[in-house]
Homo-oligomer: A and B are copies of this chain.
Amino acid sequence: MDIKGFQFSAVEAAIKKPGRKDLALIFSEVPAQACAVFTVNAVKAAPVLLSMERIASGGAQALLVNSGNANACTGNNGMVVARETSHLVAECLGIADEAVQVSSTGVIGVQMPVERIKSAMPALVEGLSSGTLDDIAEAIMTTDTFPKMEARTGQAGGISYTVAGIAKGAGMIMPNMATMLSFIISDAAVEAGFLETSFRSVVESSFNSITVDGDMSTNDTCLIMVNGMAGNSPITAGSPESAVFEKLLHDVLLSLAKQIVKDGEGATKFVEVRVTGALHNADAKRAALAIANSSLVKTAFFGQDANWGRIFAAVGYSGAAVDQSRLSLSFNDVCMAKNGIFAGGDSEARGTEILKMNEFTVCVDIGLGNGTATVYTSDLSHEYVTINADYRT
């Protein structure tokens, strides 16, 4: 993969258990345009607070990220550590402190082992000459069982560029504890206003459309940096190139988002929840999220039980406008219920067969309007309980 002008490094700083890299650095050889979306949780980690402040400038040149410690609920000292470590990076790289974004993921409420991070810094910066994006994807894992990466290549004015991304997160998705982080880089040149608009819109239909456990993280961050080193003329809104860029960005983010759900803590099923016929899109999303977050629906998925009544119940309490006599539901192409009641025939047996598959789609039609939404989720298994009961031990 050729993403011009970006360098990568990851080292073991002994924040996590021995033998695993836990401190990583992404560096753009030239200042990059950047924007980011952060958790809306009122309890925000120190690196989130610092990065929010810095991203307002619209630029960034480096990202320092660690796993194993979230640097959340760490008070003033957490802020001091975030500033201090990013200052070290800035110094080593010869850039301004403000050009360094900082991200952390891991346990909440424990102070960062700042001396270990300082000690690891020289090796981290030196590693930039030989590291790859894969190294970063691995270093940011916590309860993840596999690293998450995606890349796409496009052209603008005959010049090739790449959009690549990595992500982590397996629980606390809609997220909270193993917490979602995603970093997207591209060597394309993109006009700033268009970058921001398209990035936010794509995040909405990807990372903001997945849920594993309904918890929301103190650390969630999705950051994009584009450095223009591919040499194309900046992509502007409304141009044919803008549609291509947005499509590539969407493919990369949606792929990463789906990888997170597939790696959902203890997940045995990957479920696409599609709601149609809502009064408007916001209602459709409300209903889809209520289904995707219901413990009862998710345990039924785990049990391969075609218990469509629980899904109607979730739609009913979602807050979406609902006339129960108009609801219908299908698992893949098997209609389970129509006009609010059981479809009859052999649908129970056929629906159960669908639920035995590893991946399937739940379609709910509300029958009131044209609002639609799609959300991706996993089931709720014994393994989820095991992982989260014993997380810190």
Contact = CB atoms under 8 A, between A and B. Distances in A.
Interface of A: 40-44, 70, 72-75, 77-78, 107-111, 171-172, 176-177, 213-218, 294-296, 299-300, 302-303, 305, 307-310, 312-317, 320-322, 324-325, 327, 337, 339-342, 380-382, 384-386, 388-393
Given A44-B324, A75-B340, A109-B341, A296 B385 contact: no
Given A109-B341, A337-B73, A341-B109, A388 B43 contact: no
Given A300-B389, A385-B302, A342 B73 contact: yes
Contacts of A177: 296, 310, 313
21 contacts: A43-B313, A43-B324, A73-B324, A75-B339, A75-B341, A108-B309, A108-B310, A109-B308, A111-B342, A171-B296, A176-B317, A177-B296, A213-B295, A215-B295, A215-B313, A215-B314, A295-B384, A296-B388, A302-B385, A303-B389, A305-B389
Contacts of A72: 309, 313
| Copies of this chain per assembly | 2
A36 B91 CA distance: 68
Nearest to A78: B341
Contact of A305 (B295, B380, B392): B392
A380 B315 CA distance: 23
A300 to B, nearest CB: 7
A286 B24 CA distance: 38
Contacts of A111: 342
Given A216-B317, A303-B388, A310 B380 contact: no
A108 B312 CA distance: 9
A292 B300 CA distance: 22
Q: List the 3 closest pairs (A to B, CB-CB), nearest first.
A: A108-B309, A303-B389, A43-B316
Contacts of A390: 303, 305
B317 A110 contact: no
A133 B388 CA distance: 41
A213 B294 CA distance: 8
- Which residue of A40, A109, A296, A308 has the most chain B CB atoms within 10 A of its CB atom? A109
A377 to B, nearest CB: 13
A393 B303 CA distance: 10
A116 to B, nearest CB: 19
A296 B305 CA distance: 24
Nearest to A296: B215
A37 B12 CA distance: 58
Contacts of A213: 295-296
A77 B295 CA distance: 29
Contacts of A340: 43, 73, 75
